[in-house]
Amino acid sequence: GAVVSQHPSRVICKSGTSVKIECRSLDFQATTMFWYRQFPKQSLMLMATSNEGSKATYEQGVEKDKFLINHASLTLSTLTVTSAHPEDSSFYICSARDLYSGGLGVTQYFGPGTRLLVL
Amino acid sequence: DAKTTQPPSMDCAEGRAANLPCNHSTISGNEYVYWYRQIHSQGPQYIIHGLKNNETNEMASLIITEDRKSSTLILPHATLRDTAVYYCIVRRAGFGNEKLTFGTGTRLTIIP
């Protein structure tokens, strides 16, 4: 099946620093990737849609200048949390859509997630 | 996309079939039903999806009622590794409609 990886799996950083999270589709090409955030005991919340070669589309309430998304190739999207603060501590999960999967029943495949702790 | 309703939690004995219900009474004709699950501290795992016919794969079966207003995910022989939160999601077909809106899901606990 389609595999999506994330790196790092967990990161601890100091308040005010920036953290970059990578999302890779390992065995398929993904024109579209998605970034989610999940706080403890809550469901996943979509943050933004990342499109290869174009600007990301952010969900309402998500600061685009704080959460920088770059989708430079068909297999890599990065999320940079700039000037991180303790309230940014969360589980960040990406997903990718297989470029060649049928549009009608297209399936997203999720990465294993990155746990961010900001001290 | 149509909203879904799932019970917050369920228990199932190991080795038995786990039947997880989902209501999606406002589903429209071009919307698919997707099921994902999330094991603790991991990313969601795709299980199965369907439009109107029943579907089966190596993981589960999906039964969709004739009026499409509800569905049931069946794990035929539940194991302890099936303990997870199961999400039923309805999504419109077609490119550009890939957004998945996660609700609160059903926390399934498999009991030894």
pLDDT of residue A1: 64
Nearest CA in chain B to A113: B43
Q: Helix, strand, coil: what percent of chain A each, to 5?
A: 5, 50, 45
- CB-closest option in B46, B93, B104 to A104: B93
Please indicate whether, in this complex, the C-beta atoms of A103 and B43 are within 8 angstroms of each other: no
Instruction: Tell me the three state secondary structure of residue B84.
Output: strand
Please indicate whether, in this complex, the C-beta atoms of B95 and A44 are within 8 angstroms of each other: no
pLDDT of residue B58: 93
Contacts of A45 in chain B (CB under 8 A): 102
What gap in Å lies between CA A101 and CA B93, rounded to an integer? 12
Nearest CA in chain A to B32: A105
The count of C-alpha atoms lying within 13 angstroms of the C-alpha of A71, restricted to the half-sphere facing its C-beta, is 23
Q: What pairs with residue B5 in β-bridges?
A: B23
Q: What is the DSSP letter of B75?
A: E
Judged by average pLDDT, the poorest of A16-20, A89-93, A108-112, A113-117 is A108-112
Contacts of A107 in chain B (CB under 8 A): 34, 46, 49
pLDDT in tens, A40-89: 989 999 999 988 888 899 999 999 999 999 988 889 999 999 999 999 99
Calculate the alpha carbon distances from B81 to A56, A60, B55, B89, B112 in Å: 36, 36, 22, 22, 11
